[in-house]
Structure 1
């Protein structure tokens, strides 16, 4: 089965992005491609998309050694460095147009986190000191967003790091000061940066992040993670995001092991609780539904949720030694192979709608649809989870 993951990674995902998404006219990669593989050459290009492309190809080169992947990583890095990096105020812009002209210059903490994730991974395969310097500079930018009184990181700022009215990551999110999603994707790059840069401030910041998840974001009465919070860590609603729940299981575990987290047994129990509570989202066909919001169940089967379900339950099985979790992961992988992978045209569909049909209204690649969740799932299986095949 390991061969399946490598074939999907190289032929279905990475091959797709190399064949269809290289923007030879304007540099970097195109901003969008639809379900029928029609490229939108004029699409806006996002920092998150480009950071995830860089991370994916850098990680793929590190694991598989194909020089084409390093070439793609350099392509992504060079575009980011030229068009997204703000050399006056630090950090990266949110988006540029197809020619590289800045559209939104806000500083979203989430985007800084993903760019740090990408740069730290790229440094692993290049060893170039200037790339590590850029990664450290992004760490410093993220630390600017920290709430020194109440803890955690605020969502967004103006270009010059001042307060901004609309802090939302996307239109579907709430306009709240702090979110689980952003904290998860600061935790993630901090773990990666710690692998290449030994620094006491970074270590302490990561320990505080883990403690925030344990004490503020995790709800022991439900076994789920809260999503949106005010400055005082009051949660705004009881929405359950199954994909984020199960993604947090393995990202928290890796973070805790990287810093030698002292309360590891308590954390293990919490992660087991989150994994068990998330079983409520699993369906008979092996898929994981999207969320429960205000009592309404959203049964759409998103690509990223399925990818994180595979990795999350594989790690949950590794952490707890519970075979049921491993079975959930493989059941989900079977669902992905049958219903989400586009075997003819490449990549994965955005989702399957509640009625089971393919979601053709969302892009196969775009502002949010990147080779990161599904590519990373394949790479985690190849690099860290082969013993559980």
Structure 2
């Protein structure tokens, strides 16, 4: 299938960009910021999420490409995380370090810990080092021991370096300062599910199943079938904004988690919700195949940008909906998502993907190519998932 061949080419293109541009040859690890015009900022802070996502992307890609250079990049990411981001005193992962590796923002953002677990679990599949596995398990236990809400279930967003309460729990400046978020729970779920594939612990399985149930009971709105983005401790809704990219991402990630832990009855319920979530995400589709960023129904306000990551998730999410429903419309949505990326998101001169485009298709030039949030995660994962799913049809 042409789609799979193009994904293989695109995966190689993405990895080549990061392999050539991102390593920090002077200070180790990876450069913290490269702007839209490919200008590097060698003294920019380095983010743990960026490093963990590089770790995951190159570990997962190696299983497709079998290119030893990709394994080497994954190991480079792990070595840097282990040396500079792991808090040797309190446990956990720093949010940022400076370009020399000195801790900057030392708060324990559960989202960041989850991505470290996710990336380390993926590396273990191709490099079964026991110390690596135990590091991933240790971070998982940090999340459970310090962030888990034993009264209402779920995980608190963030804590101080020494695991105390924080006033500012936000993942980024645009987020609401609330105790629990959909986004953190989604990525704790994917991290725990990936850890389960290398460490099939019964308690871990129960925690994955509990997280899936939280999505079914609270995070997926029974009224709109969109995701609710923020909550208080007892799961009261604290946001009305719709994120179409997260809708379509969760539609396949929650299902994948149920598949990985092998809970058939839970999986059937999740598949039903998968289609409802996918249909809800379709409300954000433009005629050109691109997915709008956000909509606030309270103020009837659209953010009519098309960021790169929702398009990548749409490629996978719609393909997944086609696989479980047989409805051709979803396959066509996936193909149109990829066509939109080819037409508007790929930087055909500078390499990699633009952060996104404005309503008039102008690239969002103020945003990074490499940065705290711009990583080879959503786009490489989309390529890998499409390749894997098409191969499974043969």
The equivalent residue for 2:270 is 267
> What residue in structure 2 maps to residue 119 of structure 1?
120
Structure 1 CA distance for aligned equivalents of residues 39 and 212 of structure 2: 42
CA apart distance, 1:160: 1.0
Deviates more, 1:55-64 or 1:333-342: 55-64
Paired with 1:190 and 1:384, the residues of 2 have a C-alpha distance of 22
Which residue in the other structure is 2:81 paired with? 80
In structure 1, the partner of 2:103 is 102
C-alpha distance in 1, partners of 2:380/2:273? 27
C-alpha distance in structure 1 between counterparts of 2:186 and 2:283, whole Å: 22
Q: Does 1:146 align with 2:148?
A: yes
1-structure distance, mates of 2:266, 2:70:
39
1:376 is aligned to: 381
Which structure 2 residues correspond to residues 1-389 of structure 1 after superposition, within 5 A? 1=2, 2-11=4-13, 13-144=14-145, 145-261=147-263, 262-293=265-296, 294=298, 295-386=300-391
TM-score, normalised with respect to structure 2: 0.97
Q: What SS is found at the alignment partner of 2:104?
A: strand
- Cα distance in 2, alignment partners of residues 101 and 210 from structure 1: 37
Q: How many residues align?
A: 388
Shift of 1:316: 1.2
Q: Distance in 2 between matches of 1:123 and 1:150?
A: 33
Normalized against structure 1, the TM-score is what? 0.98
Displacement of 1:230: 0.3
- 2: CA distance, partners of 1:356 / 1:101: 39
- Please state how far the C-alpha of 1:278 moved relative to its aligned partner: 1.2
Structure 1 range deviating more: 92-101 or 259-268? 259-268
Structure 2 alignment gaps of length 5 or more: none
2:151 counterpart SS class: coil
Displacement of 1:134 in angstroms is: 0.5
Once the 2 structures are TM-superposed, how far is the Cα of residue 384 of structure 1 from its aligned partner?
Answer: 2.6
Between 314-323 and 371-380, the greater mean CA deviation after superposition:
314-323
- Give yes or no for contact 1:314–1:385 (8 Å, CA) kept in 2: no
- Kindly report the root-mean-square deviation, in angstroms, between the aligned alpha carbons of the 2 structures: 1.1
What is the CA–CA distance in structure 2 between the aligned matches of 1:255 and 1:263, rounded to whole Å? Answer: 10
Deviation for aligned residue 1:61: 1.1
Separation of aligned partners in 2, 1:153 and 1:319: 30
Runs ≥4 residues deviating over 6 A: none
